[in-house]
A and B are shown apart, each in its own frame.
Chain A
């Protein structure tokens, strides 16, 4: 075991592991870029309708159904399923099937968490805002949105970490990213590569979780922080 860990360390110490198109730095760049692209796209798709529906308190049953089914859909299956779909759409292998799968997986939790955050704002508070003469739009932007902001931020954090985790599986459908080391390591039975890849992938996920959690605590007023407990989390 000590010997094995020595080999893993030696792999990390080798400059060749870091540079070039198949090096750690390039794989990390690919991984982070795809994660950012998919998370931002999912946020743009999910958050505006969720804000509006949450504001109207419409579609609660639908939201519960989405949460329950969303958890039951295996992310591995979705990544694989989007490969033939992407090919049939003429988008090929690699980036697109991974991107579309990540989008598909990130939109539901982001939508439902935002919805729950807005719809869960104390009705008395909304009522008094209206009583003070706020317009519909002001109630949403000046009361509901700030009150729901911790939940929305937590939803973005959870989605980002989930997307980064699932992006690992993109290596199975021809995408690069850090998952490449694990998948390639499996296929050539190179345990050092597998283990090193696992360290990189797990390190990135934990780093993102800690970083975004820290940003959240800095941005969200302490009085609102406990509300983020209701956020749905998913393992990828």
Chain B
């Protein structure tokens, strides 16, 4: 309660920001690395599970059921489940982060492939495409807009969740938020909370726009037709 009485002065200190630009940069890079690992691993696992679900239809419902439960578990609880097993490590953070990407990525991959017109698949078969060639040269490219839409959601969600991993000793920009929490009664604390929040949101927006750009480059045939 003594702390509360000391709550005076400004809310935001530019001085702190200018003195810690290196620090902010390092944490931003760490944040991006944690995100990139999670989304990449999530994509690989999701692609494998989507292929299984597409090949054996009956597996789709149990796969979405399990990944749906993972998605429902609050992040702090999921990390808490893992800490007794894998400790306060980057592995704990990544297992949790990857778990949250699966539902979105699998749903969009399966929906994307299902959305490829039957006539297109027929013509490709008529042209002599084998199963594998059909999947990689026809179905996957045509499903890309829907798949990338899933990757965008997964990436933006992961960037937000990385901040929570500060509580288990990781965190990227979440580090500032957690340190700000411990110094909440002073401008130094509130500044760090604000910086952690704003840079993390900015990162999400930049990554999201970059993925829109990648989609634009990767699917030249859909330009001008499909908006977003």
15 residue pairs of the A-B complex, CB under 8 angstroms, read A72-B208, A74-B160, A74-B164, A74-B177, A75-B160, A76-B164, A77-B163, A77-B193, A78-B197, A164-B74, A172-B181, A195-B80, A198-B81, A205-B74, A236-B74
Chain B residues with CB under 8 A of A75: 160
Whether B193 contacts A197 by the Cβ 8 Å rule is: no
Tell me the bound Cα distance from A199 to B85 in angstroms. Answer: 14
Given contacts A74-B163, A77-B200, A172-B181, contact A87 B4 (CB under 8 A): yes
Given contacts A71-B160, A77-B196, contact A191 B84 (CB under 8 A): yes
**Chain B contacts to A: CB under 8 angstroms:** 4, 7, 11, 69, 71-78, 80-81, 83-85, 100, 153, 156-157, 159-161, 163-164, 166-168, 174, 177-178, 180-181, 184-185, 189-190, 193-194, 196-197, 200-201, 204-205, 208
Chain A residues with CB under 8 A of B180: 80
Tell me the bound Cα distance from A163 to B159 in angstroms. Answer: 19
Given contacts A71-B160, A87-B185, A92-B4, contact A198 B194 (CB under 8 A): no
The listed residue (B81, B161, B166, B208) touching A202 by CB distance below 8 A is B81
Residue of B nearest to A64 (CB): B228
Tell me the bound Cα distance from A74 to B165 in angstroms. Answer: 12
Whether B160 contacts A209 by the Cβ 8 Å rule is: no
The listed residue (B161, B167, B194, B197) touching A235 by CB distance below 8 A is B161
Whether B4 contacts A72 by the Cβ 8 Å rule is: no
Interface size of A by CB at 8 A reads 48
Given contacts A92-B4, A201-B77, A202-B74, contact A77 B177 (CB under 8 A): yes
**Chain A contacts to B: CB under 8 angstroms:** 1, 4, 68-69, 71-78, 80-81, 83-84, 87-88, 92-93, 161, 164-166, 168-169, 172-173, 179, 182, 185-186, 191-192, 194-195, 197-199, 201-202, 205-206, 209, 233-236
Whether A202 contacts B78 by the Cβ 8 Å rule is: yes
Sample of 6 more A-B contacts, CB < 8 Å, known A87-B4, A87-B185, A199-B81: A74-B197, A84-B190, A165-B74, A172-B181, A195-B83, A198-B81
Tell me the bound Cα distance from A223 to B77 in angstroms. Answer: 36
- How close is B200's CB to chain A, nearest CB, in angstroms? 6
Whether B153 contacts A197 by the Cβ 8 Å rule is: no
Tell me the bound Cα distance from A69 to B200 in angstroms. Answer: 11
